[in-house]
Chains A and B, each alone.
Chain A
Amino acid sequence: MIDAPRSIPDFTPVNLVTGFLGSGKTTLLKRMLRSPALADTAVLINEFGEVGLDHELIERIDDNMVLLQSGCLCCTIRGELADAIRKLDERRASGAIPPYRRIVIESTGLADPLPILTTITADPVLRHHYRLGLVITTVDAVNGMSQLDRQPESRKQAAVADRLVVTKTDLASNDVVLALVARLRRINPAAPLLRAAEQRLDPEELIGRDLFDLATKTQEVRRWFDEEAAQSAFSPHRHEHGHPHDHDRQSAHDPNRHDDDIRAFSFIFDDAIDWTAFGLWLSMLLHRHGDSILRVKGLLNIEGEAAPVAVHGVQQLVHAPVHLEAWPSADRRTRIVFICKGLDEAAIRRSLAAFVFEGRHARA
């Protein structure tokens, strides 16, 4: 359930709706905000080109809205985005506006999601009162395939998504929709995928639950790997001396040739993981290769801990790791999914093994 309204959370989640131009971000936002469950949502949009029209549409929906004046919600206006959230925060604190419980930012089509996300975690004030929520990416069923072909930003938006929403499915043939869904699944196997035109969009499904929601965090993590496992069902599966199992969704027989630069793969480890060694290794990896690691999601069996720890990150940005109260299933193995651009899966697997799992002699 979405939290009871009108109390201010310790850390207000900031969600991002992104997607290519004309992919239905604003329409989706309108549908979401129509739900009484999301009434206590503040919305941030920026006015630029077609988004001016979006603003006209959205203004009638919610009064808790700040317009960003810069043209593009990209790296150039991080300061302005932080200022906008601070102003909202001040107005909430003073009682000038109702106590919103979440923020949704609608980005422009070409915006790289990362600078927007880092705004929250980099700002010395915001980081103590706000946290990252979910990235919701809309993909247009009619034009999505060609956008994925032509626009690297479009592929990146799909890769970093926590939720993928395929829009305009009623305007495209079933074959086109199925091909697009299959392609999105290869780019991002761990995110739930919704069809906007055919499904009743549950606001909880979209932004009501995330990893930091105490009531549903285990369920959220289970979904990461349920989605990923469904994609792995027909993929090669190797088991190497009790350590990594590989799920590679881009085998030699994969008909998809467009997304060669973005690949998703996962590792499963039977052994418990050393948190300190893992933290050093991942921070070192992200320092050097963070630009190419679009997503990492892990359910970790930590040495000395009875329950698992979930970690997830977007490029160099790593969310605070979350301690689950219990394992989501009987499977107690560590599972890590990477979505990478141009990085060698075998090298990452080898590095993880060398620095984390087989490094006990090196540490001595």
Chain B
Amino acid sequence: MCALCGVLGGKDHWTEPLGRESVYVRAHDPAARRRERARRISEANAILRLFGLSLEDWQADSYILRNSTGKSEVVGDLAALWPLAERLLGRSLDPLDEGTLERRERLND
């Protein structure tokens, strides 16, 4: 198991950690969790569309990631999103890449 999968695997992604005292939990109740899930998909799509990819919910349990030709991958949780996005793209997905930053900044304008 690679370090990343180990750290971010399961439902224990650091953005939605185990319920333990003092740890920050964004969504406390089912309704808030649904809202946060929808927000996360929206935010993820704002990034993924830079690469011609899209993410949608699948039964509030997993996600479906698609590329522009309709090829898809089931994404178990956020931990698996970036590796699977790179697999669909066939190249790396780099938030520091000059071209990626330029495309994002154009969308921000």
Contacts and interface: CB of A to CB of B under 8 A. Distances in A.
A348 B97 CA distance: 10
B108 A361 contact: yes
Contact of A285 (B22, B26, B96): B96
Contacts of A285: 95-96
A166 B17 CA distance: 35
B73 to A, nearest CB: 15
Interface string B22-54: 111110000000001001101110110000000
Interface string A89-127: 000000000000000000000000011001001101001
B22 A288 contact: no
Interface string B76-107: 00110111000000001111100001001101
A99 B40 CA distance: 41
A286 B4 contact: yes
B3 A275 contact: no
A363 interface: yes
Contact of B6 (A121, A217, A309, A347): A121
Given A128-B18, A288-B92, A288-B93, A363 B104 contact: no
A290 interface: yes
Interface centre among A274, A286, A287, A361 (most CB of B within 10 A): A287
Interface in A243-285: 274-277, 279-281, 283-285
Given A283-B13, A288-B96, A122 B1 contact: yes
Interface in A1-15: 10-11
A342 to B, nearest CB: 12
Contacts of B23: 212, 320-323
A354 B44 contact: no
The binding surface of chain A is classed by DSSP as helix
A309 B14 contact: no
B20 interface: yes
Nearest to B106: A362
B93 to A, nearest CB: 7
Given A11-B20, A288-B95, A363-B42, 16 more contacts: A118-B6, A118-B7, A124-B10, A276-B15, A276-B36, A279-B13, A283-B8, A283-B79, A288-B82, A289-B94, A320-B20, A321-B14, A322-B22, A354-B104, A361-B109, A363-B43
11 contacts: A118-B3, A281-B47, A288-B92, A288-B94, A309-B24, A320-B17, A320-B20, A321-B24, A359-B46, A362-B46, A362-B107
Interface of B: 1, 3-10, 12-15, 17-18, 20-26, 36, 39-40, 42-44, 46-47, 78-79, 81-83, 92-96, 101, 104-105, 107-109
Closest 9 CB pairs of A and B: A122-B6, A279-B15, A320-B17, A287-B82, A362-B107, A318-B14, A323-B24, A321-B24, A363-B46
